[in-house]
Structure 1
């Protein structure tokens, strides 16, 4: 069901438009786009996204990530910097040294990722940032422009943001899960090309850990949902109480982003 937007130098760029909702409507095309990093866009990619209607880009990456690989601008698009992790937070690192230390300390890669997904729910900073994300989507909902939101792989910070949006818009849980897991299909070739050269130089346990960290796993998103239910009772309560997204605001999004 996911609609890939094929670009020359960006991966996992996907439409959220077309998904059915429980209200008998579908999410509008060219309104919500999830993506991996867009720091290597070609001129043709930039033009394609501008023509597609992207007029707002939300960057969930850290300051260090965004400075190391700044977004290539899209003509006419407002850029919003909205880091999900605070600057002193080091949640997951792909550096072999950091991974080896964590493995030596007895923390396997899967548990590292589950910690990240609990953090999305438990962290006051993360909740504040996702609330602001909704504010920007609301501001851009009425009109012809599209919001593109991304992190580095378009998998975790972006995946959780997509989960929240799709839930608010009334998409069923199975479809939301399919959208989340589709990252493995769309990101796989790029990751293989990036990490295959490392196979000759790194130990097997490190390579396995990298593989786990770069996958979208049902158990990761399930960790967020379990934490939400434990602390708030339901996803609806988390969105209304944890994020402070009022029912009127949710209705506004449904009215302007579905048809």
Structure 2
């Protein structure tokens, strides 16, 4: 199966369904993930209409949404889950970039700390909880996205795979599909321009790739943080996100075939 779905101006768009899940399989063309849709072309919007998206989880901060408002196709009446708490005045990523030496090591260290904290960030708990609550109702094809569709999105999609029963190796394999050399080449210069505008300094190509990509250890960091405080990933899902046996069964009923 080809997971990546080409769009003119929506990056990192792919189907994260159609994985084996025990004796069953996640339905294809039901679960999608991507970067933001602020630059979506008319052709992109038409393609999203064809996919029949009924639920969108927008994991971005309020300031991110204000700077890059999502485009929707005419007549879109699906549900959008977003969080309105907080402002972007002290965006941790921007603070980091301004104070950083912009080295590969600095980018990687930032992401390690980010993933260690992400599962228990109050905004994430709210968004993740509502995602699973809504997914249990079977609203139809769903899209998860943040700004780049890699970190916040990666954690939610990995948890969704875990609930479904996808093998851990395949969970990581799907997560690592973000590391697309063509995307790095296409979007990297714009990313470097943004960093230079923000900091007055331009990152190297290697640092740019470190910032735009993902590593298996990052996702493992998030999982280990869940296990350390709740005994297991399942413990985190139930104790923090409210995914008890009943909700889990409802999610499985809707996404598995």
TM normalised by structure 1 equals 0.85
Give the match for residue 165 of structure 1: 160
- Three-state SS of the structure 2 residue aligned to 1:182 is helix
CA RMSD of superposed structures (Å): 2.8
Match of 1:180 among 175, 180, 184: 175
- CA distance in 1 between counterparts of 2:195 and 2:232 reads 43
Give the match for residue 17 of structure 2: 17
The verdict on how the C-alpha distance between 1:112 and 1:133 changes in structure 2, with shifts beyond 3 A counting, is same
List per-residue Cα deviations over 1:131-162 (Å, max 9, x = no partner): 011122223x15xx311110111000111110
Native 8 Å contact 2:18 2:26 kept in 1: yes
How many residues are treated as equivalent by the alignment?
250
Q: 1:56 Cα shift? A: 2.0
Match of 1:233 among 217, 231, 234: 231
Q: 1:69 Cα shift? A: 1.0
Pairing 1:60-71 to 2, within 5 Å after superposition: 60-71=59-70
Q: 1:39 Cα shift? A: 1.0
Give the match for residue 102 of structure 1: 100
Pairing 1:40-55 to 2, within 5 Å after superposition: 40-55=39-54
- CA distance in 2 between counterparts of 1:4 and 1:35 reads 10
- CA distance in 1 between counterparts of 2:122 and 2:146 reads 19
Give the match for residue 91 of structure 1: 92
Indicate the larger mover: 114-123 or 35-44: 114-123
Match of 2:245 among 228, 244, 247: 247
Pairing 1:87-236 to 2, within 5 Å after superposition: 87=87, 90-93=91-94, 98-103=96-101, 108-139=106-137, 141=138, 145-185=140-180, 187-195=183-191, 208-236=206-234
Show structure 2 runs of 5+ residues with no match.
none
TM normalised by structure 2 equals 0.86
Native 8 Å contact 1:15 1:29 kept in 2: yes
Structure 1 position 78 matched with structure 2 position 78: yes
Show structure 1 runs of 5+ residues with no match.
none
